[in-house]
């Protein structure tokens, strides 16, 4: 068939996985009756990844690549890739073979049936710690409760998107990107396929708990204003309790007189409420900081090289 499908892969320091990844992908795509573009986005790798991609490109014209000017992070790398792929559909997958290319035929089958977002859901995750599994389990459930967007559980970015889903994602120009949320937010027809998530093939995960926490805050703040609401509600409740207590103190004073006492309780009350105030200021700050960043309206990324098939975009290499 004439239709072109792009396989979009963000790459950051993946020199050890790229050759194997390429081999596994073409083993699958060679047996499928579509044209394929394997599109690497080099997200400022500091190792040999870019050279490996360029070498692969020399032997295989179905490889395209976009080389970003620095490391922007996976979310922006995906946004950049989506802007430059040539395909009628895109399959997004990680470079570390945690997302098995063997799932591609099944995804395409559902795409042919008319689904716009065929997402891969993990039945299990290998090579990840108990703590990571638990934290991610609870994070998704909390996020689902907080936001009105129905975010798929146990699902990563590994998925196939149709043309109109791609066009929808392209329109989202936010700096703070929680891409997984966008996939749900755009809507359209969704279909789930199940798979076993393998351990990373080689190299190390770029995520640590601090980064995951950042992504979690990104997810919550870009899809929910509930934390602001919660801080308002806590404010009201504490004010109400304080008011009742004040009336009690005044009456006690008038009826019984009151020698000075209670330094300890006074200090604890002051400290406690200071703490609550700081937390709610912090929550406001998280949102305000995002408003600040968005309002600058900077471009999402800059490009160093591009070598691909998209019409109207010139190939340039530095």
**Is residue 48 close enough to count as binding ligand UDP by CB under 6 A?**
no
Q: Which of 5, 7, 12, 218 binds ligand UDP (CB under 6 A)?
A: 12
- Closest distance of CB 17 from ligand UDP, Å: 8
Which range in 68-76, 225-233, 245-253, 292-300 contacts ligand UDP by CB under 6 A? 68-76
Q: Which does 71 bind (CB under 5 to 8 A by kind): Mg ion, ligand UDP, none?
A: ligand UDP
- Copy the structure tokens of residue 224: 């929910």
**Is residue 95 close enough to count as binding ligand UDP by CB under 6 A?**
yes
Q: Which residues of 140-178 are buried (b: 16+ CB within 10 A; e: fewer)?
A: beebbebbebebbebbbbbbbbbeebbebbeeeeebebb
- Closest distance of CB 68 from ligand UDP, Å: 9
Q: Which of 15, 63, 74, 160 binds ligand UDP (CB under 6 A)?
A: 74
Q: Between helices 74-84 and 163-170, what is the axis angle to 10°?
A: 120
Q: Which does 238 bind (CB under 5 to 8 A by kind): ligand UDP, Mg ion, none?
A: none
Q: Which of 206, 230, 280, 304 binds ligand UDP (CB under 6 A)?
A: 206
- Closest distance of CB 123 from ligand UDP, Å: 16
* Contact string (CB under 6 A) for ligand UDP, positions 155-194, x = contact: ----------------------------------------
- Copy the structure tokens of residue 175: 């700096």
**Is residue 207 close enough to count as binding ligand UDP by CB under 6 A?**
yes
Q: Phi and psi at residue 291, in whole multiples of 5°?
A: -60, -45
- Between 96 and 117, whose beta carbon lies closer to Mg ion? 96
The CA distance from 87 to 35, in Å, is 9
- Copy the structure tokens of residue 250: 């005044």
Using CB under 5 A as the binding rule, the residues of this chain from 79 to 138 that contact Mg ion are: 94, 96, 98
Kindly report the length of the chain: 318
- Between 115 and 120, whose beta carbon lies closer to ligand UDP? 120
Q: Which does 149 bind (CB under 5 to 8 A by kind): Mg ion, ligand UDP, none?
A: none
Cβ neighbours of residue 152 closer than 8 Å, sequence gap 6 or more = 119, 121, 180, 183, 184, 190, 192
Residues making contact with ligand UDP (CB under 6 A): 10-12, 14, 43, 71, 73-74, 77, 94-96, 98, 205-207
């Amino acid at each position: 068939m004439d239709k072109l499908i792009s396989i979009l892969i963000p790459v950051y320091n993946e020199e050890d996985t790229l050759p194997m990844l390429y081999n596994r992908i073409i083993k699958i795509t060679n047996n499928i009756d579509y044209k394929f573009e394997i599109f690497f986005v080099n997200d400022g790798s500091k190792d040999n990844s870019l050279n490996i991609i360029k070498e692969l490109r020399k032997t295989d014209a179905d490889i395209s690549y976009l080389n970003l000017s620095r490391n922007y992070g996976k979310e922006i790398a995906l946004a950049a890739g989506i802007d430059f792929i040539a395909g009628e559909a895109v399959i997004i997958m990680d470079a570390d073979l945690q997302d098995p290319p063997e799932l591609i035929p099944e995804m395409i089958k559902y795409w042919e049936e008319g689904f716009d977002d065929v997402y891969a859901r993990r039945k299990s995750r290998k090579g990840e710690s108990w703590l990571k599994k638990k934290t991610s389990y609870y994070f998704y459930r909390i996020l689902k409760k907080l936001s009105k967007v129905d975010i798929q559980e146990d699902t990563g970015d590994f998925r196939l998107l149709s043309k109109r889903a791609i066009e929808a994602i392209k329109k989202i120009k936010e700096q703070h990107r929680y891409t997984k949320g966008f996939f749900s937010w755009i809507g359209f027809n969704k279909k789930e396929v199940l798979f076993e998530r393998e351990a990373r093939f080689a190299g190390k995960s770029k995520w640590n708990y601090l980064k995951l926490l950042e992504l979690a805050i990104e997810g919550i703040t870009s899809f929910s204003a509930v934390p602001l609401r919660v801080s308002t509600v806590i404010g009201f409740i504490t004010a109400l309790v304080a008011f009742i207590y004040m009336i009690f103190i005044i009456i006690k004073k008038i009826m019984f007189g009151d020698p000075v006492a209670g330094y300890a309780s006074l200090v604890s009350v002051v400290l406690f409420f200071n703490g609550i105030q700081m937390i709610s200021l912090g929550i406001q700050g998280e949102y305000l900081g995002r408003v600040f960043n968005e309002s600058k309206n900077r471009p999402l990324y800059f490009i160093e090289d591009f070598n691909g098939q998209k019409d109207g975009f010139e190939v340039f290499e530095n």
